[in-house]
């Protein structure tokens, strides 16, 4: 009975997650565009610009090209958005445990992170445009490039946790939130963890399809690539999926490396005041991650060519991740 009421309660929470996720995604996109403009000494659009864009796109005509495979073309954006939102249910947000804790773990999150990218590629292939096919192929090449480094980081984190506590489920997000890896890895391991964090931040732009990793959409080369045939509602859904995935990926970085809560460890606040402090602290952490991994990077650098991206992610980034893995595991073994 208790389990049933619990399940119903979490079902009721799902719409709140959807609304909060979409709101945060659009808000962060707005901050992104504003800050990017300020860094280029421009005034920039208002922070609520993504909300306006969304309303406009929902009002526009939704066209399906003659050569497209209609049902694939129309379902790909929905799949992308749903899987991005689903990610949020498995991640610890605002200092709370994940909503679906116990129903899925890190491995599932890794797969869910891939789904929007695959949906994007499938949508591109199904739209029957050459530009979209080129974009979709690029998306897949990019995915194959960064996925290994991402997996190395993930597995190392889980391995360190399981070394210290063999009895706990190391792939559970709640375990990771309860046991910050920095305390398990020792001084040498901490250097490795810094390298792992660096690798993860380098993967972030490619994962989120932002400059320098936006080669699948490359506006100036292949005319918006995978999205070339998408208009109106479908385009809005893809953009939303991208924004929500930014939040989800940043929340994952926070869960891996900065799971600390501010109350009651650092400031003595009990009950709801503590919760609010934790939520605000979480937003700050999220913003720092998005700023370092996406906003700052896309202003500072230019786009990769597809071969450069593959070389970078298979070469230096993977190297950093592997060295980080070796150091972190070595450090963790020294501690126990």
Partner 1 sequence: MGIDSLKRSLWVFHVNSGSCNGCDIEIIAALTPRYDAERFGIKLVGTPRHADVLLITGPVTKQMKEEVLRVYAQTPDPKVVMVIGNCGSTGGVFYESYNIDGPVDKLFPVDVYVTGCPPRPEAIIEGVVKAWKKLESLEAGK
- Positions touching partner 1 (CB under 8 A) are 33, 37, 40-45, 49, 52-53, 55-56, 58-63, 131, 219-220, 223-224, 227-232, 235
Do the beta carbons of residue 245 and residue 208 sit within 8 Å? yes
For the CB of residue 100, give the shortest distance to partner 1 in the complex, in Å: 34
To which residue do tokens 């991994």 refer?
A: 293
Name the residue nearer to partner 1 (CB basis): 86 or 236. 236
> Widest CA span of the chain, in angstroms?
63
Q: At its nearest, how many Å lie between partner 1 and the CB of residue 129?
A: 9
CB of 41 to partner 1, least distance (A): 6
CA trace torsion 290, 145, 113, 319 (10° rounding): -60
CB closer to partner 1, 62 vs 137: 62
Q: CB of 43: closest distance to partner 1 in angstroms? A: 5
List of residues 6+ apart from 305 with CB closer than 8 A: 215
What's CA 122's distance to the chain center, in Å?
20
Whichever of 236 and 262 has its CB closer to partner 1, that residue is 236
Angle made by CA atoms 16, 45, 281, in degrees to the nearest 5: 45
Distance CA(204)–CA(77), nearest Å, equals 21
**Please, where are the H alpha helices in 70-105?**
70-89
Tokens of 219: 């506006």
Min separation Cβ 228 and partner 1, Å:
5
How far apart CA 141 and CA 138 sit, in angstroms, is 5
> 40 or 272, CB closer to partner 1?
40
In whole angstroms, how close is the CB of 287 to partner 1 at the nearest point?
Answer: 21
Task: Decide whether 55 or 267 has the Cβ nearer to partner 1.
Answer: 55
Q: Please, which residue, 59 or 107, has the CB nearer to partner 1?
A: 59
């Amino acid at each position: 009975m208790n389990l049933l009421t619990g399940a119903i309660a979490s079902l009721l929470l799902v719409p709140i997650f959807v609304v909060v996720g979409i709101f945060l995604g659009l808000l962060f996109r707005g901050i992104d565009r504003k800050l990017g403009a300020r860094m280029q000494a421009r005034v920039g659009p208002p922070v609520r610009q993504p909300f306006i864009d969304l309303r406009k796109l929902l009002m526009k005509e939704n066209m399906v090209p003659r050569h497209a495979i209609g049902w694939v073309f129309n379902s790909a954006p929905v799949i992308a958005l749903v899987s991005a939102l689903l990610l949020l249910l498995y991640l610890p947000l605002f200092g709370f445990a994940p909503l679906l804790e116990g129903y899925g773990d890190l491995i599932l999150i890794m797969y869910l992170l891939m789904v929007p990218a695959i949906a994007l590629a499938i949508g591109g292939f199904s739209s029957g445009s050459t530009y979209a096919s080129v974009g979709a192929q690029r998306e897949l090449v990019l995915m194959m490039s960064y996925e290994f480094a991402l997996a190395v980081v993930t597995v190392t984190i889980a391995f360190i946790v399981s070394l210290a506590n063999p009895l706990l489920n190391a792939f559970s997000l709640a375990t990771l939130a309860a046991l910050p890896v920095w305390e398990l890895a020792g001084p040498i391991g901490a250097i490795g963890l810094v390298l792992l964090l660096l690798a993860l931040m380098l993967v972030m732009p490619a994962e989120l399809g932002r400059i320098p990793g936006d080669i699948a959409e490359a506006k100036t080369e292949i005319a918006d690539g995978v999205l070339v045939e998408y208009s109106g509602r479908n385009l809005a859904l893809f953009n939303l999926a991208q924004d929500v995935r930014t939040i989800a990926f940043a929340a994952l970085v926070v869960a891996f490396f900065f799971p600390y809560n501010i109350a009651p460890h650092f400031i003595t606040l009990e009950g709801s005041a503590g919760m609010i402090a934790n939520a605000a602290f979480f937003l700050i952490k999220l913003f720092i991650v998005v700023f370092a991994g996406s906003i700052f990077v896309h202003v500072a650098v230019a786009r990769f060519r597809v071969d450069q991206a593959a070389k970078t992610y298979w070469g230096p980034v993977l190297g950093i991740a592997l060295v980080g893995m070796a150091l972190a595991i070595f450090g963790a073994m020294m501690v126990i």
